Structure 1
Amino acid sequence: MAAGSVAGTEAAARGSAVRAWGRALGGGAVMAGALGAGNVLGGALARAVGAEGYPRQLLCAVVVSALAVPVVLWLRAGRQAGRRPLGLGPPAAAPRGFFRGVAVTLSCAVAVLGAGTAVGWLRWSEPDPAALTSFLAGNAVVAVLLEAFPEEVTLRGHAWASLRDRFGGAFSALGTTAVFLLVPGASTVVQAAVSRAMGVAAPPVGFAPAGQDPVAYAVLLLVFGLTLVAARTAPGPAPLWMAIGTHLVFLSVNRVVFEGAARGAGWSAEATADHTAVLVLGYLAATAMIFVGMRVVPGRGRPRARRAQAAVRNGEL
């Protein structure tokens, strides 16, 4: 092969890699922008209509999804046929994918938290079934619209597919998770800028939520991000919905178990900070291993899943 041909091939490969990273970072930028701007704009809309409490949270969540999801769908619409899809799959497959993600993650959480209770790491309050049901229902709607759905579409959907078009699976998983780690801090920068532009009080800029150790928060996001990629890459015709289900269960379990008293969830548990970290990371790791095992261990539904995924790659989301 001529030297010029080799150089041209290497340049094309570098250009392809740069474009893949640009698209992946673009997905992260869309999510950070939507999250930061959506919270401010949703708050302004809530003030305009006199909404407080839960209605205000719901308005902010709706605005975040409305800002993020259409942009990503537009970005993906121009991609060539045969490229890796977002993973939403055909609408009929969405409920099954979603509930598979919910079932796997919830089962792992119950097993690990149950073990933590058995060894005395968790002490539970008396449950209030009515309050718990109300909290779970309301939290699910807000969590899906504010975080689970837009984050999965922009990150494990668009960003992962962009990297996977060019790189191997392990690199794409790590790259997508790296983009995920950039979103929280970037969203606070956007939120502060939009707040100042609208003349309202700007929240502090930072990577971790107030009161949380940045290193511990980074470790949690790293493990959580890799777990979501494992769900996204599990076999099935709607794998992104598995990641959405996993995302929702993670948020719901943690808010009930570890923040339930403060949130009025109707049930909660007490644990030391060290035990909380071990339990959360433990059930995330167990969840990730099950999703990875779905790819490694052959199953009866695998041929059907492959046919469905091939159909999706030929034109479905």
Structure 2
Amino acid sequence: MAGSHVGGSGASGAGALGRALAGGLVMATALGVGTGLGPALADAVGASGLVARLVPAALVTALALSLVALAHRGRPFRRLGFGGPGASAVAFLAGATVTAMAAALVLGAATAGGLLRWSDPDPGALAGFLASNAVVALLLEALPEETTLRGYAWMSLRSRFGGKGTALATTAVFLLVPGVSTVVAAGAARLVGRDAGPIGVAPGGQDPVDYLVLIVVFGLTLVAARTALARAPLWTSIGVHLTFLTVNRIALEGDGRHAGWYVEHGAGTAGLLVPVYLLLVAGVFALWGRRIRRRRREGAAHAVDLPRPGAVGAVR
């Protein structure tokens, strides 16, 4: 079956690649416009605190989903990998649980080995951070990025290419989004008379090579999560994405974000351990998906071997 995705005319392959790139461009545009114009819009309506953070996030999601709906030509979003409420909740919890457990195992082992030392937790501040971060991170990054990239871009590529090629190409498109979004954000900020932020492939203060390596590992992990479960698979990758952001912002940036808990000593080591727990997540979902596909094949083979009703009597 995989060969059927590869063969055919070059134009169709080029069209699939073009649609995938369009998905990346949609995300970069939405993220750039949201982060460039969102703060000005929040100031214009007098928003502050959490509401001021929600304005850019909501703008990113609104733009990304609207543009994907236009590119998807009004087809149901379920075809991108969304499912019904029940299946979506199960898939989201699967993604979130596997990621949280992998992070706890790796970071916990490092803590037990004396590589990391944590601050004393502030339960109230931590609970407030978890609630606010969940909403902002979902709207600013997890939902729009998974819809545009592991949803629209992945679906466009998978209709033409095999699984490995689709995974690599989707991740390559993912790599382009941060840099392009900074260009869009700078232009949008200048339109409203605000100072443009830095333009580059990585967020300010991060090493570009380290960041791109992390994006590659993260992108492949998200593809592994997206392809593991058959029902509402996009919600699995959304669960992974949101939990990844939450864990990292607590462990690596918790002090600056007033999260109520953070790595007090060994933050650099914790950063190096992030790809380790991501690879563990990817491995779990790769094995999970393989097991599901094997059971499906065995079930199909068993159904073929079963005699049809009346078949024995007909032979007689």
Which bin holds the TM-score, normalised by the shorter protein?
A: 0.7 to 0.9
Task: Report the AA paired with residue 275 of structure 1.
Answer: T
Whether the 8 Å contact between 2:91 and 2:229 is mirrored in structure 1 is no
**1:188 equivalenced with 2:191 (yes/no):** no
Which residue pairs with 1:39 in the alignment? 35
Question: Separation in 2 of the partners of 1:299 and 1:162?
Answer: 22
Task: Report the AA paired with residue 228 of structure 1.
Answer: L
Whether the 8 Å contact between 1:108 and 1:286 is mirrored in structure 2 is yes
Question: Separation in 2 of the partners of 1:302 and 1:255?
Answer: 38
Which residue pairs with 1:57 in the alignment? 53
Deviates more, 1:86-95 or 1:134-143: 86-95
Deviates more, 1:90-99 or 1:114-123: 90-99
Unpaired segments of 5 or more residues in structure 1? 1-9, 307-317
Unpaired segments of 5 or more residues in structure 2? 1-6, 301-316
Question: Separation in 1 of the partners of 2:260 and 2:242?
Answer: 18
Q: Following superposition of structure 1 onto structure 2, how do residues 149-298 of structure 1 map, counting pairs within 5 Å?
A: 149-272=143-266, 274-298=268-292
Task: Report the AA paired with residue 37 of structure 1.
Answer: V
- CA deviation vs aligned residue, 1:256-293 (integer Å, no higher than 9, x gap): 11111111000011354652233101110000000001
Going from structure 1 to structure 2, the CA distance change for 1:245 and 1:206 (only over 3 Å counts) comes to same
Deviates more, 1:132-141 or 1:64-73: 64-73
Question: Separation in 2 of the partners of 1:250 and 1:301?
Answer: 30
Whether the 8 Å contact between 1:65 and 1:146 is mirrored in structure 2 is yes
Question: Separation in 1 of the partners of 2:295 and 2:193?
Answer: 55
Whether the 8 Å contact between 1:235 and 1:302 is mirrored in structure 2 is no
Question: Separation in 1 of the partners of 2:264 and 2:159?
Answer: 45
**1:131 equivalenced with 2:125 (yes/no):** yes
Q: Following superposition of structure 1 onto structure 2, how do residues 113-132 of structure 1 map, counting pairs within 5 Å?
A: 113-132=107-126
- The CA deviation at 1:76 is 1.8
Count of residue correspondences: 292
Task: Report the AA paired with residue 132 of structure 1.
Answer: L
Q: 2:14 aligns with which of 18, 39, 42?
A: 18
Whether the 8 Å contact between 2:107 and 2:270 is mirrored in structure 1 is no
Question: Separation in 1 of the partners of 2:238 and 2:52?
Answer: 23
Q: Secondary structure at the match of 2:255?
A: helix
- The CA deviation at 1:78 is 5.6
Deviates more, 1:51-60 or 1:283-292: 51-60
Question: Separation in 2 of the partners of 1:122 and 1:184?
Answer: 29
- The CA deviation at 1:198 is 2.1
Going from structure 1 to structure 2, the CA distance change for 1:57 and 1:119 (only over 3 Å counts) comes to same
Whether the 8 Å contact between 1:98 and 1:244 is mirrored in structure 2 is yes
- The CA deviation at 1:56 is 1.0
Greater Rg by CA? 2
The two structures have a TM-score, normalised by structure 1, of 0.87
The two structures have a TM-score, normalised by structure 2, of 0.87
Question: Separation in 2 of the partners of 1:167 and 1:125?
Answer: 48
Going from structure 1 to structure 2, the CA distance change for 1:191 and 1:298 (only over 3 Å counts) comes to closer
- Report sequence identity in percent: 56
Q: Secondary structure at the match of 1:263?
A: coil
- CA deviation vs aligned residue, 1:52-111 (integer Å, no higher than 9, x gap): 2321111110000000012112322367x9xx9310122332111111111111111111
Whether the 8 Å contact between 1:97 and 1:236 is mirrored in structure 2 is no
Which residue pairs with 1:7 in the alignment? none
Whether the 8 Å contact between 1:148 and 1:248 is mirrored in structure 2 is yes
Question: Separation in 2 of the partners of 1:92 and 1:298?
Answer: 19
